[in-house]
Structures are given as structure tokens and as C-alpha cells.
Structure 1
């Protein structure tokens, strides 16, 4: 078995002709730039790009195959240099069973199946050329279609306050909306971790994935997982998500939940954290509008039963992305990349002595403390990321 770095949630900002896909995504997030960044800068082995249902994106991938830049893998996925691309789509559902909109991820093994899926979606969406669009179809029928096309189905960032399964999507249980047997994994999102998620008993049967939800090239691989597989292919990943034939998620590398922008309940007006949730108005500004934090939402849903993580659960390792390190600007980061080649090498492989030799003492020590999970952090909330205290 081999081990691979995998990030399954990357957006496309623009098509190659300049048309928007993810409105809030960077213009530099084209499919070609994503492939190059993932392999040459980040050092990823497998990525999921979740706007591949867009017809112009599919046309571009077909052209890259014709030009010999990309080639299909027999067990699913497309290969570009040292990275495998999984063809994904993020979809918003809000049927009669949902209490609020829910985002889900669907991955298909081949370009042909994604093309079929795109055609199916186009009859159920107002604009197939954009990312994360609302689908006018039931959640169950979406699950059935994904499975008909041999796909993988994953609810996205399941605890965030907006557009997620446990944020506003359900009252108590995922069975209110989905067929539990047709879910392949759960994406935790940036404001929670395994220990928090495992307070909810019905999640114990699912593998957790931790992904970047990247809206810019720099954000790729701010969360990811280390996956043990024979090869980085679609079918091997499917086996890993279900812990079959020795394939598995070895470790989830995710933000410390304190760094997530929805970790604690926050006043919507002044963005101050709310320490006492029983207060009806914000003690700082008097507003009565709050954004409920992931931490507090999970406490509402926590099971009275055993909350211990299952024995087969992957290790969760708190990862502080390099961009969060105080004083580590673009020039210094470029210096590190020139020396160690990729960010995965900087984070996981670079000797501490080499880091200290290359960088000023304060920055070097922060990177080393980040690797050990020993940085002091300030909580995020209400859409504002937490930060590393200097």
C-alpha cells in the first residue's frame, strides 16, 4: 500500500474563456492553474474539483486529453503529471424535507459519466454554468442518480451555520433528508474536528474527510487527508472511504477548530464572540441577531449515548496552514518553496534544523510549533477566521 495526500473540495473561479463559475472564487482558479498548483506547489497526489459539471470545463478537459496533457485512468479519475483529478460537483438541495439549504458533493469516475450528470442536472437547475447551484429535485433522487452513475456522495461542510446538513438542514437526524446507506463519507468543514463530530452517534459509521473548500489557489490543501491506497484512483478512494481491502484514511489534517470562521457563536452585527448563549441580546452592541457556532450546534445535537470515537477512526491532526503563520509573507514562503519544492514537503518533511537556518527565529519557531500543535490560537466565529496569537 502507498500513502497519498488528498484534497477533495476545490472550486473553479473562471473558465479558460473568463466566464465565472464560482462567483466568489479567484479569477486565477482555472482548471489548468488548479492542476499545476496542486502538483507543483502544494505537492498533492489527488484532488477533487467540484465544479466539473460546467459544460465549458468538461470541454476543456476533453481538449487536454486530446492534447495529451491529461489522460483517463482505468479505475477512474484523470491524471495530470503527479496528481489525479476527481471530477466532482457541489450542489445545493432544498426539498420539502430540508429545514434549510444543504450543500453536497458528488464525484463521478469518468468524463463521460460527469457529462451525463451535467445533462441531468441542467434540467433541474437554472444555470448549469455556475457552481453550487440549487437543484430542483429531491435529495433522495439526487442520491439515486449519483449511485446510478457509480458515483461517490458526500454531504459538504456538515456543521457550518449556512447551507449544511446539521447547520440548518435538519432538526435532529440526517435520515430526515438522506438515505444513510447512500452516503460514502462526511465532510467536517473548517470549524470542527473528529472529536467534536463523534459526539453525534449517527456519524460513527461514516469516514470523515477534511478538505480545503478552496476559493483561491493559495487555499488549496489548507485541509486534506493522508489516504492509504494501492494507486490514486477513483475506485481506490471509494474503497478507502469504506475501509475495504486494507485501504483507509490514515490521518485527517485539518484546521484547529478555533481557526475556523464559524467555530463559536458570534454577534452578527459587531462580530464579538458570545460567551453566554442564554443572553438574548449582545452585551457589546445590543443586537439580538447571532450566528450560531459549530461548537454550540454540536452540543445541541450531541448524543446521550457513548461519544467515544470508533476504533477505526483516522487520527485527526490539527494543521495550521502556512498562510496563518505570523510574519510568513509571500516572499518568505516562495523562498521555502524554492528550497523544499512543495508545501507538503515544508509541513511534513523539512528538518527543523533547515527551517531554522533558512528563516528568522520567530517565523521558524512558529512553523515548528505549528507542526507540533503547540501554537496559541484565538477563536473564530461569525464568518471571521480565528488567528494565531503572536
Structure 2
């Protein structure tokens, strides 16, 4: 068995032709640049590309397979460089049982399964050349098709205020839209952690995942998990999610929820933090209130039983968030020690001090154990690591 680092939610900004895939993602975020960054810069063993249903992306992947640049594994996934690519699709469900869009992640074991899924889903979409598009099909139908093709079905960033399972304040239960038996895991999103999500009893059966939702190369692996697998492959991922045959999630590494840009309730107009359940800003009088994840979870909480034996969730801060680590310093660290996973998990503090100041080395060490003090984010603005530690 081996430790495997995995970030299963990464967007493609542009196809090989230059046409947009995820409009809000960096244009430089191509299939090639993602695999290079994930393998050589980040040190990820497994990644999920969640725009693989796009026909032009599938065409590029087919070229990789034919040329030998990528190799499809018997257990599922495509091996490129040192990283296994899991083919995924992020879609927006809007069925008659709910009044708000819900993003979901769907992963397929093999290239041909994704081709079949892409052709099927195209009939329910207005534009299948773009990521995260709305699909006009009931959630349960989408689940059944996913399972028919051997795929995984995972609701995405389930607490964020926009386009998520619980975030908009409309749904009280996932059973209103989905078949609970056909959900393989849930993705927490950047503003919630295991402890927070464990306050909702209906989530007890599901593994919690933390992924980056990266829209640029630098954001890859800002959240991720460490699996215990025989090899990074789709079938092994399935076993780990079900905690079978010794495969499992060892540790989840995510941002402190305070760093998430939707953690607090804030006024959309002036940015003031709004306490309690008020629907009006006391600073400017606006009713444009963006309810934070922390407040929404307080509304949904129905159990106080705690985390209940889940894998550890480490509030780890990405290197790019740490004061004193700019692009030049980060490149220096990589040249000396290897990938970001090496720097964050394998290099000793004393060795780090040979490349950076003792203060910065100490902050990296504290980042590993979630000890860095942070200030809260909200209303679309990320929280920050505090420069002065007290």
C-alpha cells in the first residue's frame, strides 16, 4: 500500500484550440498545463479533471492515448507523468423538485465510459462545450445513468451559498433531490470542515472530500486528501471511499473554514459582517445579505454527536497563503526540496531553515498542523493568515 495525495476537482480554462471550457478559469489552465503543474510542481498522485465531458477535451485525451503520452490503467484512470488523471464532469442540476441549481461531480472509470456519458448528457444541455452547465434532467435520473456506466456521484461544495446542495437555504434534505443510496461521497467546499459538516446527521453515511476547485494552476491542491491505496487508480479510489480491503482516506487537508470566502454572513453592498439572522445590514441598510456557511450550518444542525471516527481533518494552509512566501521564495523552495507536497509533508523544519528564514520555516511547520492564526473571510473575499503570530 502507498500514501497517495489526491485533488479531485480541477477545472480546465481553455481547450487545446484556445476555446473556453470553464469561462471563469484562467485561460492558461489547459489539460497539458494542469498535468504538468500537478505532477511536477504540486506532487499530486491523483487528480480529477471535472470538464472531461467536453468533446474537445475528449479528443485531446484520445490523442494522448493513441500517441502513448497517456496510458489508461486497467483499474481506471489515465496515467500521465507521475499522476493519474480521473475523468470527471461538473454539472448543474436544476430539477422540478428544487428551486435552485445544485452542482454535482461525476467521475467515470475509463475513457470510453466518459465518451458514452458525454453523448448521453449532451441531449439535456444547451452547450456541452463548456464546464458546469445546467442539465435539464432530474437528479435521480442523472444518478442512475452515472451508476449504469460504473461512475461515482458526488454533490459538490455542498454548503457554499451559490449552486450547492444546502447553500441556498431552500433544501433541508438531500433526499428532496437525490437518491441517498446512489451518493458515493460529498465535497465540503472551502468554507466548511469535517467538524462542521458532522453536525448534519443525514451525512453520516458518506465520506467527506476536500478538493481545490482550482480555477488556476496555483490553486491546485489548496485542499486535498491523502489516501491509502495499492496504486492511484479509479477502482482503488472506489475501495477507499467505501473503506474496503484496507484502502481508506488517511487524512483530509483543507483550509481553515475561516479562510473560505463564504464563511461569514456579510452585506453584498458594503461588505460589513452581519451577526445573527438579520436580513438587513446595520451599516448601510441594504437587504442584499449573503448568508455565510457558518450561519447556514447552524440552521441545518440536528446532531451533537461529533465527528464520529472520521479521518483527521488538518487545517493546513497552502504555501501561497503564508506571509513571506512569494513566487520567488516558493520557486527557491521547490528547487531545493522538490514538490509542494514534499515541502509541506516531508522536509524537516531544520532543513527548511537552510532555504528560508526561521520565521518562515516556523510558519510552514505550523501550517502542517493547522496552528497558523487566521482572520475570517466572507462575501466572496478569502480570509487571511495573520502575519503576527501571538
How far apart, CA to CA, are the structure 1 residues paired with 2:286 and 2:36? 46
Q: Alignment partner of 1:346: what SS? A: helix
Check 1:362–1:98 CA distance in 2 against 1; reply closer, same or farther (3 A cut).
same
Q: Is the 8 A contact 2:169 2:296 kept in 1?
A: no
Show the counterpart of 1:326.
Answer: 323
Residues 1:388 and 2:357 aligned together: no
Q: Is the 8 A contact 2:209 2:252 kept in 1?
A: yes
Find 2:371's aligned residue among 370, 374, 382.
374
Write the deviation string for residues 331-374 of structure 1: whole angstroms up to 9, x where unpaired.
11000011111000010111101212211343223222222322
Q: Is the 8 A contact 1:100 1:169 kept in 2?
A: no
Show the counterpart of 1:300.
Answer: 299
Give me the CA root mean square deviation: 1.1
Shift of 1:309: 1.9
How far apart, CA to CA, are the structure 2 residues paired with 1:279 and 1:105? 33
Show the counterpart of 1:250.
Answer: 250
Structure 2 segments unaligned to the other structure (5+ residues)? none
Q: Is the 8 A contact 1:258 1:379 kept in 2?
A: yes
Q: Alignment partner of 2:353: what SS? A: helix
Q: Is the 8 A contact 1:376 1:389 kept in 2?
A: yes
Show the counterpart of 2:85.
Answer: 85
How far apart, CA to CA, are the structure 2 residues paired with 1:118 and 1:10? 18
Q: Alignment partner of 1:215: what SS? A: coil
Write the deviation string for residues 128-175 of structure 1: whole angstroms up to 9, x where unpaired.
000000001110100010000000000000000000000127421110
TM-score norm. by structure 1 comes to 0.97
How far apart, CA to CA, are the structure 2 residues paired with 1:149 and 1:256? 36
Shift of 1:280: 4.1
Q: Is the 8 A contact 2:279 2:289 kept in 1?
A: no
Write the deviation string for residues 242-282 of structure 1: whole angstroms up to 9, x where unpaired.
111111111100000000001111111111222x2243421
Shift of 1:289: 1.4
Q: Is the 8 A contact 2:224 2:252 kept in 1?
A: yes
Q: Alignment partner of 1:105: what SS? A: strand
How far apart, CA to CA, are the structure 1 residues paired with 2:315 and 2:370? 6
Residues 1:66 and 2:66 aligned together: yes
TM-score norm. by structure 2 comes to 0.97
How far apart, CA to CA, are the structure 2 residues paired with 1:170 and 1:181? 22
Find 2:308's aligned residue among 295, 307, 310.
310
Shift of 1:2: 1.4
Show the counterpart of 2:268.
Answer: 268
Q: Alignment partner of 1:3: what SS? A: strand
How far apart, CA to CA, are the structure 2 residues paired with 1:184 and 1:298? 21
Residues 1:364 and 2:361 aligned together: yes
Structure 1 segments unaligned to the other structure (5+ residues)? none
Q: Is the 8 A contact 1:262 1:294 kept in 2?
A: yes
Q: Greater shift after overlay, 221-230 or 162-171?
A: 162-171
Q: Is the 8 A contact 1:210 1:253 kept in 2?
A: yes
Q: Alignment partner of 1:358: what SS? A: coil
Counterparts of 1:18-97 in structure 2 under 5 Å? 18-97=18-97
Counterparts of 1:1-390 in structure 2 under 5 Å? 1-168=1-168, 170-274=170-274, 276-303=275-302, 305-311=303-309, 313-390=310-387
Q: Greater shift after overlay, 194-203 or 286-295?
A: 286-295
